[in-house]
Amino acid sequence: MTPDICIVIVNYNTGTLLARCLDSIRKEKDDKCRIIVVDNGSVDGSPELLQTDYPEIELIANTENLGFAAANNQAIKRCREELLFFLNPDTELQAGCLRAIRKFMESHPEVGLAGPVIINPDGSPHPAVEYSYPAGRYSGGCFDDLPGKIAWILGAAMVARSSVIAAVGGFDTRFFLYAEDIDLCLAVRKEGWQLAEIPEARVMHLEGQSEKGTPLAEVMARKVRSELIFLKKHYDAATVRKIRRVRLLEAWWRLCCLRFARFFLELPADKKEKLIRYEVVARLYGET
């Protein structure tokens, strides 16, 4: 029996891309597929677009940006389908994607959460599977006994069994944006489930569109804060202190080199970005 599936999309000011995403789903969906869009207080006309052009979509319209994890949890509470497909609005399903997802999850009962193959707009592969956790080399092997080899799946496109998501309690809302996918995947593995990539399912991804226009320092700060939340949640205090020392030493050394170079020549754009990144790392890890 074909499992029913609920596609959950969290949107924040990505109306044009969201429409393309929904159009790609329309080509793939059937009467056993439901779509929920959680809008996090968009001001680009996204809610109006959905109500006018996509009346079949179930819309949860928030008045403010609650963050990615909290918004997904809102939709999870309404889902009764066997499978949950968490999808970013800056993605497009490729032909046969939903069919391949259903077939794979039916054929692999040991898998609790999986991800399709992610491709860039030019068709090149986009990394979507990771085999280690942040600062995992300092974990002391605490994750070695978990099932499967895959550590986590990119949150842009993840499909999970509803029963598994219920067992882990959904997303941890302490993660506003970034690392919530890593945390969820770890929770799934701790429940005894494997993660997997679905080779026959493909999704095209335009990365970082919801953060487009946001200053790099702000984006980097969100990433570092999320990493710190993950480390404090899953590593013991001594390990976190060790990681903090390593991160700070690296950041200080890089900052010294970049600032010294800046005295003698104009830094190229990529070096300026690195300077900003290491300044954020030094500041936030220094406050820990």
- The pLDDT value given to residue 139: 85
DSSP-based helix, strand, coil % in the chain, nearest 5: 45, 20, 35
In the 3-class helix/strand/coil scheme, how is 12-63 assigned residue by residue? CCCHHHHHHHHHHHHCCCCCCEEEEEEEECCCCCHHHHHHHHCCCCEEEEEC
From the list 113, 104, 108, 198, the residue with the least C-alpha distance to 155 is: 113
Per-residue pLDDT reduced to its tens digit, 91-128: 999 999 999 999 999 999 999 999 999 999 999 999 99
Number of C-beta neighbours around residue 190 at 10 A: 13
Strand partners, 195: 113
Residue located via tokens 């080199």 = 257
- The pLDDT value given to residue 76: 97
Strand partners, 152: 130
CB 94 within 8 A of CB 203: yes
Has residue 75 got a pLDDT over 90? Answer: yes
CB 9 within 8 A of CB 88: yes
Give the whole-angstrom CA distance, residue 66 versus residue 69.
8
Whether the model clears a pTM of 0.75, i.e. scores above it, the answer is yes
Give the number of C-alpha atoms closer than 13 A to the C-alpha of residue 129, restricted to the C-beta side.
Answer: 16
* 248-274 mean pLDDT: 91
Give the whole-angstrom CA distance, residue 8 versus residue 68.
11
The token pair that represents 269 in the structure block = 């754009």
At residue 158 the predicted structure's pLDDT band, cuts being 50, 70 and 90, is very high
Per-residue pLDDT reduced to its tens digit, 188-199: 999 999 999 999
- The pLDDT value given to residue 267: 87
Q: Which distant-in-sequence residues (6+ apart) come within 8 Å of 193 by Cβ? A: 110, 111, 112, 113, 147, 164
